Structure 1
Amino acid sequence: MPMTRLTRRAWLAAALSSLAGCSALDVLNAVSKSDASVSTLGLAYGDNPRQKLDVYRPVRPMAGPARAVVFFYGGSWREGARTDYAFVGEALAATGAIAMVVDYRLYPEVSYPGFLEDCAAATAFAQHWLAQQGYAGARLFVAGHSAGAYNAAMLATDSRWLGAHGLGTESLSGWIGMAGPYNFLPIQAADILPVFNHPHETQDSQPLFHVDQRWQPPALLLTGERDAYVDVRRNTLSLAERLMKYRHPVELKVYPRLDHKTLVAALASPLKFLGPVLSDVADFLAKA
């Protein structure tokens, strides 16, 4: 007998308990494949083997100027691969946006700020590539989940990183942070201490402290109320409040049913029933 819709949903939801494992991500990618995008894989934005990205171009683009999203995955800056997040590229392309899923160097190959330098280089590459492909007027966004959301936040709030490539934060039409750590000193997790050069961590490594009266690109902050990994109050809510304090455009979405893993998993087409994450992202992109 064919699997019923309810049974399929229950099976997929159960698989999320091991989402960090490659097998679960492989399954999610397999069931998320669609004909909504055309992919170009393995574009190099640097000489290191990890300095590559995959592009997912929408078959049906959004109306008006093209929107392009450079996406950074999480993994505590210690693990992850762009191929594990093909479902994110597929999902963003399904909204009509050009998606770029980025690999970047991880600890112990680099510590802070090496991964930010890679993310900035990838974003600069994306802008040049878009222009070469006929999308010179594209609206450019950076986005990420967990550690990747931190990377996106730093590129959007701290001009040092894009500035190294002759770009300013004003080159971004917006940024999207999903369950990101934005205010995490002193570091509590032992495995993160060496990533940020303990005992020499600095406050300027925290996105929260780069938000002031200077111009900031619009932000969409997403988090799951059940997140037990990244403290929602200390990170997402405090960043939203600081952005609002300085009257920067910010949208905040807190999903009552979602946790750290299911927040990003809900982007996948078979798991959209978990929460309106993808539609909220699509609405944010469409406003640019």
Structure 2
Amino acid sequence: MRRLVLSLLLLLGACSPVWLLNATVPFGAMRAETGIAYGPLARQKLDIYRPATQTGPAPMVVFFYGGNWRTGERGHYRFIASVLTRRGVVVVIPDYREYPEAAFPGFVEDGAAATAWAAAHAAEYGADPRAIYLAGHSAGAHIALMLALNPAYLARAGYDRGRLAGAIGLAGPYDFVPAEYPDVQPVFAPAADQRQTQPVTFADAGAPRMLLATGTGDTTVMPRNTRSLAAAVTAAGGQVQARYYPEVAHAGILMAITPLFRRRAPVLADVMAFIGR
């Protein structure tokens, strides 16, 4: 059945995997406010999604999308908001400056500014300021975990890292050498010390609790990134849960969140259990 649905979507002219994922989820159960500025620049905007019906303050997830720090738009990830709002979560999806407009640490600084804005306005959108989670996929997971592990970024944006309820990384690159990847090297070239670009460098006991998940079939961002960061955080005395989904590929970990592919891996169940704690 899943193959049939995908074939029909492709015949209709869908060329983007993200378009396909958006086509598989309903959007009627949420309220959206889009294009909200969290800074003065064109890419410093975010969308906020709320459950259609809500009783009491909800947890908030600030989700950073991937795209090799070069591509991506917040509107393409409405499927994330649809799935989470149906489970009572307020979802914030920011854009951030991408290369070549900005290199490291510009996109991390944008992530910090978006997080600080979301926290300051959480109550206005029905969210609990004490239950704010950072999350991301791929390059977005790198941003989320840099913010969770290096408190300086959020502090400069006016937010205390200690107020975060948790961080969720899906198939993130946390421990790699940028110079070894020609397409990534210029993105991180401004950093005099390349170790300062890696979340694993900042593993410490003061970080918020973490859920790190990846697929064993991921050949884009190798699972060793998750293993390395989980081991470093554990060694430092931090709280981390690591999940490895058999044979799931890089995009597959996001696909498994949607209803059509949910049987592939319990990604959504693990995320909601983590937030529920």
CA contact (8 A) 1:56 1:99 kept: yes
Cα gap change, 1:195/1:55 in structure 2, threshold over 3 Å: closer, same or farther? same
1:41 pairs, out of 11, 19, 34, with 34
Q: Pairwise CA RMSD of aligned residues? A: 2.2
CA distance in 1 between counterparts of 2:272 and 2:24 reads 21
Does residue 159 of structure 1 match 2:129? no
User: How far apart, in 2, do the equivalents of 1:126 and 1:260 lie?
Assistant: 28
The answer to whether 1:196 aligns with 2:207 is: no
Q: Is structure 2 residue 44 aligned with structure 1 residue 51?
A: yes
Structure 2 residue aligned with 1:260: 250
Residues 51 and 103 of structure 1 are in contact (CA less than 8 Å); yes or no, is this contact kept in structure 2? yes
Aligned partner letter, 1:239: L
Matches within 5 A, 1:126-145: 126-133=118-125, 135=127, 137-145=129-137
Q: Return the alpha-carbon distance in structure 1 between the equivalents of residues 184 and 255 of structure 2.
A: 23
Q: Residue 221 of structure 2 aligns to which amino acid in structure 1?
A: V
Confirm whether residue 88 of structure 1 aligns to residue 80 of structure 2. yes
Shift of 1:258: 0.9
Is 1:225 equivalent to 2:204 in the alignment? no
- Mind listing any 5+ residue stretches in structure 2 that lack a counterpart? none
Task: Say if 2:265 is the partner of 1:285.
Answer: no
Q: TM-score, normalised by structure 1?
A: 0.88
| Change in CA separation of 1:247 and 1:51 when aligned onto 2, cut-off 3 Å | same
> Where has structure 1 moved over 2 Å in runs of 4 or more?
11-17, 21-24, 33-36, 131-138, 198-202
User: Retained in 1: the 8 A contact 2:219–2:250?
Assistant: yes
Q: For residue 40 of structure 2, what is the amino acid of its counterpart?
A: D
1:216-262 per-residue CA deviation (whole Å, 9 max, x = no partner) reads 100000100100011112x1001111111122111111100311011
Structure 2 residue matching 1:148: 3-state secondary structure: helix
> What is the distance in 1 between the residues matched to 2:35 and 2:129?
24
Question: Mean alpha-carbon deviation: is it higher for 268-277 or for 83-92?
Answer: 268-277
Write the letter of the residue equivalent to 1:36: A
Equivalent position of 1:116 in the other structure: 108
Q: Which amino acid aligns with 1:206?
A: Q
> Contact (CA 8 Å) 1:72, 1:101: kept in 2 or not?
yes
Post-superposition shift, 1:22? 5.5
Distance 1:15 1:115, change over 3 A: farther
Distance 1:49 1:189, change over 3 A: same
The normalised TM-score by structure 2 is 0.92
Q: Distance in 1 between matches of 2:267 and 2:197?
A: 28
Q: Which runs of no fewer than 5 residues in structure 1 stay unpaired?
A: 1-6
Taking the aligned partners of 1:238 and 1:81, their CA distance within structure 2 comes to 29
Instruction: State the identity as a percent.
Output: 41
Kept after mapping to 2: 8 A contact 1:66/1:138 = no
Cα shift at 1:54 = 1.1
Query: How far off its partner does 1:23 sit?
Result: 3.0
Aligned counterparts, 1:264-275, within 5 A: 264-275=254-265
CA contact (8 A) 2:90 2:127 kept: no
Deviation at 1:193, TM superposition (A): 0.5
What is the deviation of 1:126?
A: 0.3
Q: For residue 115 of structure 1, what is the amino acid of its counterpart?
A: F
* Structure-2 change in CA distance of 1:14 and 1:146 (3 Å): farther
